[in-house]
Amino acid sequence: MFIGYFTERPYQDPQSGFFGATGSPIKDLTVSNGTYDPQLGAHLYNRYLDEKVYAEEMGFDGLMLNEHHSTPFCMGGAMNVEASILARITKRAKIVLLGNILPIWDDPLWLVEQLSMIDMISHGRLVSGWVRGTGRESVAHNSPPPYNWERFQEAHEFIVKAWTTPGPFRWEGKHYQFRHVNPWVRPYQQPHPQIWLPGVISRDSLMWAAEKRIPYIMLSTQLEPTRQAFDLYHETAAEHGYKSGPQNLGYLWKVHVDETEELAEQTARKYIQGPSNPFLAGNEGTNNPALTSLPGLTSRHRVLSTQVAATRQRGGGALSAPYEKQIEDYTIITGTPKTVIPKIRHVLEYLRPGSVFFWDGDGAMTHDDAMRSLRLMGEEVLPAVREIAKELELPSSFDVNPATGKPFDADPATANAEDGHSAD
């Protein structure tokens, strides 16, 4: 099993009427950056990097970064910059990007070079995930929503070819045209880093990932819709002539561990405090309807199920449920190590993912909150989860080739020549 750590890196400002623990809700994309404090921002960026370094020290296999734009709930507006820093200051953990928003890139060749540099500086620790992005990203970067899915697919094909095909060559596509493709910067991993796809509700994206034999990561969705999505992945894989398994699947959800049950409860409630995140409980009214109904960005017949479709209308999956409901549904797990480990086991038994990400240190949580949890995870939770995963036979995509279902060979350079995924 592969275990990663994640946080949204929210802009926390206890002195502000918007971004503190009891801040006023703000509608998505409506708050001016005139309220931004650069000194506070500098402190927070360094805080979140320090926490990721500590997560590696505590034994996490991966450090996950994501990207959103023009919003205080996620400071990761240039995720590849953060990944470049982590590539140099960490030693072992994989740097998991979930992910670069392909449709907003007008020059994906530049992305090819950036990601190759991250992979080289880290000596082959990059996991390169793609996302289609939300309406927020389309508006913030003037990307045409009706072509979102087309641009995503073409950019993916272009990036893989640029990584794997000796240049120079031409690319004459519908959305991208290049007269000279010959990036001198090549990935450390050969033929290229593993590519993952995270998502919530898109049937198109999930089935595309299964067709391409790319691992799919569900993002903090309720357990039953998540299992439905995983079943659809397995069905699609069978239609394309291969048997998928835990190595093809991942799951992100909120897990916080603390020294006492009382402190765990008090701290976990901070998940739903801090800057208004339109995906979090109590913030449904902050979701900007103009961003969720951009023409051509989504389609009702493409969602995974009626249950997921209903949550989409409320602004986002299990994330928008009340705190007590998330506790009941296991989409927030909190407590001491003794009480958290059986709850994690329940999720693993129900979903059978080969990769999991614990989402922590978010909302209005302080640096001390995050560090206490990371320490206890490293000392007690991660070793127990690895034993549970071994018992349940939940290999990751670094243990078993997601394209063939066969264990990787001892030589990472030749282990995955068949499907183009890196074993390292």
Tell me which residue range forms the domain holding 363.
2-392
Report the b/e string of 339-370 with b at 16+ CB within 10 A.
ebbebbbebbeebbbbbbbbbbbbbbbebebb
Q: Does 418 fall in a domain?
A: no
Q: Does 48 fall in a domain?
A: yes
For residues 207-218, average pLDDT:
97
Per-residue pLDDT reduced to its tens digit, 384-423? 999 999 999 999 999 999 999 999 874 444 344 334 443 3
Query: What pLDDT is stored for residue 278 in this prediction?
Result: 64
Reported as a pLDDT band with limits 50, 70 and 90, residue 18 is low
For residues 256-265, average pLDDT:
98
Hey, which bits of 32-158 come out as E strands? Answer: 62-65, 94-101, 126-131
Per-residue pLDDT reduced to its tens digit, 328-351? 999 999 999 999 999 999 999 999
17 CB burial (10 A radius; 0-12, 13-18, 19+): exposed
Q: For residue 17, give the CATH number of its domain.
A: 3.20.20.30
Per-residue pLDDT reduced to its tens digit, 155-205? 999 999 999 999 999 999 999 999 999 999 999 999 999 999 999 878 989
What is the spatial distance between Cα 34 and Cα 186, in angstroms, rounded to a whole number?
40
For residues 36-63, average pLDDT:
97
Mean of the per-residue pLDDT values of the chain: 88
393 CB burial (10 A radius; 0-12, 13-18, 19+): exposed
> Is a pLDDT exceeding 70 seen at residue 63?
yes
Query: What pLDDT is stored for residue 134 in this prediction?
Result: 75
> Is a pLDDT exceeding 90 seen at residue 314?
no
What are the C-alpha distances in Å from 328 to residues 224, 258, 260, 341? 13, 19, 19, 16
The pTM of the full predicted model, rounded to 2 decimals, is 0.90
Q: Does 407 fall in a domain?
A: no
Query: How many structural domains compose the chain?
Result: 1
Q: Does 406 fall in a domain?
A: no
Which range among 38-52, 197-211, 299-313 shows the weakest confidence by mean pLDDT? Answer: 299-313
Q: Does 410 fall in a domain?
A: no
Reported as a pLDDT band with limits 50, 70 and 90, residue 310 is very low
Q: Among residues of the chain, what percentage have pLDDT more than 70?
A: 85
Q: Does 419 fall in a domain?
A: no
Per-residue pLDDT reduced to its tens digit, 65-114? 999 888 888 999 999 999 999 999 999 999 999 999 999 999 999 999 99
Q: Does 335 fall in a domain?
A: yes
Q: Does 260 fall in a domain?
A: yes
